[in-house]
Amino acid sequence: MFVIVSSLSISCTDDLNITPEDDQTVLSEDLFANESAYKEVLAGIYANLSLTGVDGAGSSNITGLDAGTSQYGRVLLYLQTLSADQMIWSYENDPGTREIQRNLWTAQNPVVYGMFGRAHVSIAFANNFLRETTTAKLDARNVSSATRANIINYRAEARLLRALAYYHMLDLFGKAAFSTEDDPVSGFQPPQIVGADLFNYIETELTTIIPDLVDAKQNEHARADKAVAWMILAKLYLNAEVYVGSAMYDKALDECVKIIGGGFSLAPDYLDVFKADNDINAGSDEIIFPLISDGLNTQNFGPTTVMINGSVGSIESNGAGVGVGAGGWGGALRVRKQFALLFDGGQFATDERNTIISAGRPIDITDISDRDTGYIIQKYSNADSNGGFGSDQTFVDTDFPLFRLADVYLMYAEAHLRGGGGSAITALQYVNDLRTRANNPNQINAAGLTLDFILDERSRELHWEAHRRQDLIRYGRFTGGNYNWVWKGNGSNGISLPNHFDKYPIPTASMASNPNLTQNTGY
């Protein structure tokens, strides 16, 4: 088991507005007196995906942000899911949430700032690790040949985590503040990298490190392997028309084929993927890369803690059944009407992906603060596959499945339909495999396998997994007015969004600390 550590180690990162944590910010020579330190520092890079600071769930190492607006998975979920047609957050006095879910955000939004800052912290941590593991440094410390062999893998993982952060910057902002291990540690203002240049960097970086990554499914839990690199590349290529204006669906399909051949398998029970023991139950064979959540060791206000506590209904008080307090967070989360309608009709009556709870509730949410309106769902759980519960009744043990095999099946089918090659029979089989696994007897035929179907099926299969905004943008349905959902653009029935909302603004605080950054068009 890979244990992520809470001593998040960084060097001088003034340009990111990161608050130093005294001696915990310095990678000293004394630290590396024990060669186990290299793995521990690598774990600190992974820790940034789950933790927000060194002093518990409520601490943050980014100036001006609390833990709730800077946890990597949570802010990613908000920007990709809360901003679209699946989720509603009841408590709009929580910083930034009202603007995100009503599509009213500005460059001052704390959730937007939290994502921009947290991703660049990942980059800073990775750069520090790479600076400390050069051949010259290892020679000076007389590092053993056995440790050096491991460091080859460690360095590839650090570069992958950096590429992941840059990928999220490309997708959400279209640009980033660009730095690598070759840049100075202090007094350096990273230049801006935009669009095709950022795309090409991510692509080149991933393809370069793949030979040094551990084979698919051969690394410790929650550590990256070749399949994670293939997955980021598949996402990069699937969305290439958005990112750089060039179709790369053939490349996306090729990466999907590699992942599918990597030894992963669908969990027989769909909901096992979202339970407290999804690190060891059948769901673990489907999850390609998780963000760790542990109710004892990595307490955080991350996406699974938010969704499990938040999904407890104000009327139902159903928390005890999912391993949190009976009242949970009192109806914090509900689903928008357009998502609920995707499960409407008899063909989804037995579909295990349909965890909607509707009894005694109207489908419409005319007042977001009214927690008794709108349906709720119970996809994620702090209960395990054996009938037990997680180790804590607030901070859950359920890992967040950032990447999983079911997504790859649907990506293959979409890439095929968009002209990326592959087999029509295989694409159809993958989609129907998901329906069979979900206990849905309504199989799709060749005529029914369309791009519109794939978009809807992605929502049914992958809802609340931080994909929806990206999917809608790829389909041309996020901005503009050809598809509206309730409260889109702050209209109760939805209104058109201007096209520049396909990207988030560069945070004002980030621009103030780094004059090399420029604002995205329209903000």
Per-residue pLDDT at 166: 98
Q: Which of 400, 470, 495, 365 is nearest to 88 (CA)?
A: 365
Q: 249 by DSSP, 3-state: which?
A: helix
Q: How far apart are CA 399 and CA 485, in angstroms?
A: 29
Instruction: Count Cβ neighbours within 10 Å for each residue of 308-336 and write b for 16 or more, e otherwise.
Output: bbbbbbbebebbeebbbeebbbbbbbbbb
Q: Quick one: tokens of 154?
A: 């460690």
Tell me if 504 sits within 8 A of 172, measured CB to CB. Answer: yes
In sequence order, what are the residues at sequence separation of 6 or more whose Cβ sits closer than 8 angstroms to the Cβ of residue 245?
A: none
What domains does the chain contain, in order, with CATH numbers? 14-213+504-513 (1.25.40.390), 241-270+279-289+402-475 (1.25.40.10), 293-398 (no CATH)
In sequence order, what are the residues at sequence separation of 6 or more whose Cβ sits closer than 8 angstroms to the Cβ of residue 341?
A: 363
Tell me if 126 sits within 8 A of 209, measured CB to CB. Answer: no
Residues of the chain short of pLDDT 70, as ranges, are 1-27
Per-residue pLDDT at 21: 37
Q: Give pLDDT tens digits for 440-469.
A: 999 999 999 999 999 999 999 999 999 999
Q: How many CB atoms lie within 10 A of CB 498?
A: 11
Q: How far apart are CA 245 and CA 240, in angstroms?
A: 6
Per-residue pLDDT at 29: 84
Per-residue pLDDT at 2: 53
Per-residue pLDDT at 352: 98
Tell me if 85 sits within 8 A of 304, measured CB to CB. Answer: no
Tell me if 121 sits within 8 A of 14, measured CB to CB. Answer: no
Per-residue pLDDT at 23: 32
Q: CA 415, 162, 11 angle in degrees (round to 5)?
A: 165
Exposed/middle/buried for residue 37 (C-beta within 10 Å: 0-12, 13-18, 19+): middle
